[in-house]
A and B are shown apart, each in its own frame.
Chain A
Amino acid sequence: MLAPALAAAAVLVLLPVLDTLWLSLHDVILYRPRLRPFVGLSNYMHALSDPVFWESLGNSLLWVIGAVSLQFALGFAAALLLNRSFAWRGVARALVVVPWALPSVIIGLIWTWMLDFNLGVLNNIGVQLGILSHSVPWLAQPSTAMAGVILAVMWQGFPFFAVTLLAGLQAIPGELYEAAAIDGAGAWGKFRHITLPGLAGVIATALLLRMIWVANSLDLILVMTGGGPGTATQTLPLHAFLTAWSGGNYGHGSALAVLLTLLLLGVVVTYVWRSRRE
C-alpha cells in the first residue's frame, strides 16, 4: 500500500536531493556544459571561507526570528479576536486570509511601493501625522531595509497562524472556561491556564512549520530588495539562488543549498519527532 507513495517521494524528493549533493561535489558552470570536474568538498570550503556566507547566515537568523515571531504575535491576536462573537465575523474571517492567498510577487510589489521614499503611502501618512519629520528611504538603508521586508512577510504570513490557532481555539471545550469563571479566574487567568496549554501543541507545530517555510523563502526579498542595499537583506537561500541563477555556478549554489538544508535539519527533526509522538 505504501509503495506508490514511497516511489513518488523517491522521485520527487530523494532524486533531486541526491542530484543536488552530486552537483555540490563538482564544478558545474551552466555555460560550460561539457566540463564538470569532480572537486570534492571544495565548493563547501569556498562557501565557508566566504564572508558573504556568514553575513547571509546572520541575515537569515534575523529574518526567521523577526518574521516568525511577528507573524505569530499578530496571528495569535487575530485568532483571539476572530474567536469572539461580533457582527460580520464571517466576513472578517474570510478577509484575514487574503494576504495568505496573494502571490508573493504581488505582495512584494505592493510593499515596495508602500515603503517607497518618493511616492510611498507610509511615508506620506507618517509625515502628515507628524510621526516622521521627513520621508525615510526604508529599503535603501541597511538599518531599515531588513525591517521593511520583515514587515511585508509579517503581513503575508500572519493569516497562517490566525487560521491555525483559531481552529485550535475552537477545539478547547467551553466548559473549561465556565468552570474557571466559577472558580474566580479572570481573563488573564483563563488565557494562561486554559488557552495557552490548550493551544501548546498547535503553536509548536505551527511555529516549526513556519520556521522551515520562512527560512527557505526568498521570493519576497528578491522582489523587494534583491538582497540589498549591498547585502543587507541577503539571506542564505537568496545567496544560493543568486550564485546558481545569476552566476551560473550550480556547483557552488548546490553546496550552499546543502549547507542550508543541514542547518534546517534540526528544526525538521524536531518537527518529525513531535509529529511521531502525537
Chain B
Amino acid sequence: MKRRTLLSGAAATLAATPLARPHAQKPVTIRWWYHFDDPKATPDELVAAFQKEHPDIRIEPENIPWGGGGDYDNRLYTSIIAGNGPDTAMVKFNNLARLIEMDAIVPLDKRIDAWSAKSDISADLWRLHTAPDGKRYYMPLQYVVLYLYVRLDLLAKQNLKPPTNFDDFLTAAKALTGGELWGFGMRGGSGGHDSWMPFAFGTGAKPVQGGFVSPQGLAQNRYFIDLYRTHKVCPPSAPTDAFLQIVNNLKSGRVAMTVHHISTANTMAETFGDNITAIPVPRGPNGSGFATFGDGSNAVFSASKNPEAAWTWISWLSTGPNNVLYNKAAGQMTVTTSGAANWTLHPKRFVQATVDSLPIAGVLPNLPQTADFTRVVWPQNTQKALLGQIQPDEMMQAFEKLFFG
C-alpha cells in the first residue's frame, strides 16, 4: 500500500515538472480537406503562417481529388459515414442540404456573430450563406459570380454596344454569328447549369417551388434553347461543350461572348488585352436578373473532437489579408471587403463586373437533389431539349419534379 502511494506521488510530481509540459501542451491536430483548381497551388504558406500564430494548433491539409465535384463530395460523405471524416473541409452549396440531413455539420451562428471580422464580409455574402432553416453552417472563403465576357472589338465592327438585356443580347449574338464565328459560346455539357441559370431566372422566375414552371421560367428557357435550335448563334458542339471548350472557343476567336467568371479573367486579358471585357449577365425588364453565385466555403463537422480549433483555422482563413493570400492560390475572389478594395490579382474591370453582379447573385435550391441535378439531370435534359428530343417545357417540368415532386 505504502509502495503504491509512493509511486502515485512520484508520478504526480513528475507530471508537474517542466519536463512533462511539452506532452501536456501537445498541439491539437485539425484535418482540413481542400481542393484547388490549379494542381500546382498549395496551402503550405498559409498553414505555416497560421501555425506560427497558433502554435497550439497543427493543420493537416489533405488535397482531395475533385472529379467534377462528385468525387470530392462522395469521398466526404463516405468518410463521414465511416467515422473518419475531417474536422473541417471546403464545401459547396450543392451538398449543404445533404450534410445537414446527415447531421454532419454544426451551425456556426454563435461563432460568426461573436467573430470580430464579421463586418468585413458583405451582407450579400452572408445572405447567400444562410441555409433554408435560417442557420449559417458555411463560412465564406472564396466566391465567383458568373458574368458575361464580350469581345469589344467584334461588337464595335457591328456598331453594337455590350448587351445589357435579353433583346440586345439576341441582336448582338445574331449580328456576331457568321462563318466560323458564333455569337454565344453556350455550355450544354458538364457544369453548364451555372451559365443557364442567368437565362432561366433572368426575368423574374425564382429557383423555388413553382419557379421552374412559372410563365417567366418557361418563356426564358425557351429563349435559351432557341439560341441554339432556332437562331443558331452557338457552335454546333454546344450541347456537350464544357469548361475547356467554351474557354478555348473564346480564346481562339470562335465565339464572341460566353458566360464564365473571374478565374479565367487573366488568361482572357492576356489573349485579347483591352478587346475583351466582362459585364453583368443580361437583365430582364424592371431590373430583374439572376447571376449565378459560385461558392466556396468551409464547414466544421459534428464529429470533430476539436471544433473550436477547427473554427479558429477557418475563421483565420476568412480574415482580411489571410483570405487574400488564400485566394492567390485558389484563383478566385476574396470574400472580404478590405481585400477586394485593394485587389490586384485580376484586372479591375473583371472585378467590377463580379462585384456589380452580387446584388442579383443567387443559387439553386439547397435540397438533397441539387447535386444530382447539377451532375446528371440538368445535362441530360438540357442536351435532349437542345437536340429536339424533348420540348424545352418538358425540361423545366423534369427539373420541377426532381426538386419539388
B-binding residues in A (CB < 8 A): 30-33, 116-119, 135, 137, 139-142, 145, 225-231, 242, 245-248
Contacts and interface: CB of A to CB of B under 8 A. Distances in A.
B140 interface: no
A228 B383 contact: yes
A160 to B, nearest CB: 27
B216 interface: no
Interface residues of B, number: 37
B69 to A, nearest CB: 10
A253 to B, nearest CB: 12
B280 interface: no
Interface stretch (B2-10, B18-26, B195-203, B370-378): B370-378
A225 to B, nearest CB: 7
B237 A117 contact: yes
B248 interface: yes
Majority DSSP secondary structure for residues of A touching B: loop
Contacts of A135: 236
B387 A230 contact: yes
Most buried by B among A32, A118, A245: A118
Contacts of B235: 117-118, 137
Given A117-B236, A230-B383, A30 B78 contact: yes
Interface string B350-378: 00000000000000000010011001100
A19 to B, nearest CB: 14
A231 B371 CA distance: 18
- Top 5 nearest A-B pairs (CB, nearest first) are A117-B237, A31-B98, A137-B237, A230-B384, A229-B383
Nearest to B82: A33
B101 A32 contact: yes
Contacts, number: 91
Nearest to B100: A31
B237 A247 contact: no
A139 B99 CA distance: 35
Contacts of A230: 380-381, 383-384, 387, 389
A33 B81 contact: yes
A57 B38 CA distance: 38
23 contacts: A31-B98, A31-B99, A31-B102, A116-B237, A118-B235, A118-B245, A118-B248, A137-B236, A137-B240, A139-B237, A140-B236, A140-B239, A140-B240, A141-B236, A142-B387, A226-B379, A227-B380, A229-B240, A229-B383, A230-B381, A230-B387, A231-B380, A246-B371
A257 B235 CA distance: 37
Contact of A248 (B98, B245, B379): B98
B204 interface: no
Contacts of A116: 237, 245
B55 interface: no
Chief secondary structure at chain B's binding surface: helix
B292 interface: no
Interface string B14-34: 000000000000000000000
B372 A248 contact: yes
A226 B102 contact: no
Interface in B89-120: 98-99, 101-102
Given A119-B248, A228-B189, A230-B389, A245 B74 contact: yes
B321 interface: no
B97 to A, nearest CB: 8
Nearest to B390: A230
Contacts of B371: 246, 248
B254 interface: yes
A66 B121 CA distance: 56
Nearest to A30: B77
Contacts of A225: 240
Given A31-B77, A228-B189, 7 more contacts: A118-B237, A140-B239, A141-B387, A142-B389, A226-B189, A228-B239, A247-B372
Nearest to A115: B237
B287 interface: no
A136 B381 CA distance: 22
A248 B98 CA distance: 10
B308 to A, nearest CB: 26
A32 B386 CA distance: 35
B79 to A, nearest CB: 12
A254 to B, nearest CB: 15
Contact of B77 (A140, A142, A248): A248
Contacts of A228: 189, 239-240, 379-380, 383
Contact of B190 (A142, A145, A226): A226
Contacts of B380: 227-228, 230-231
B190 to A, nearest CB: 6
A169 B151 CA distance: 61
B48 to A, nearest CB: 34
Nearest to B104: A31
A245 B70 contact: yes
Contacts of A117: 235-237
Nearest to A33: B81
Contact of A246 (B99, B102, B372): B372
Contact of B239 (A118, A229, A247): A229
B249 interface: yes
Interface in B234-272: 235-241, 245, 248-249, 252, 254
Contacts of B375: 242, 246
A32 B104 CA distance: 11
Nearest to A242: B376
Interface in B62-96: 70, 74, 77-78, 81
B394 to A, nearest CB: 12
Interface in B213-248: 235-241, 245, 248
B239 A31 contact: no
B315 to A, nearest CB: 27
Nearest to A29: B368
A36 to B, nearest CB: 12
Nearest to B242: A226
Contacts of B239: 137, 140, 228-229
A247 B101 CA distance: 15
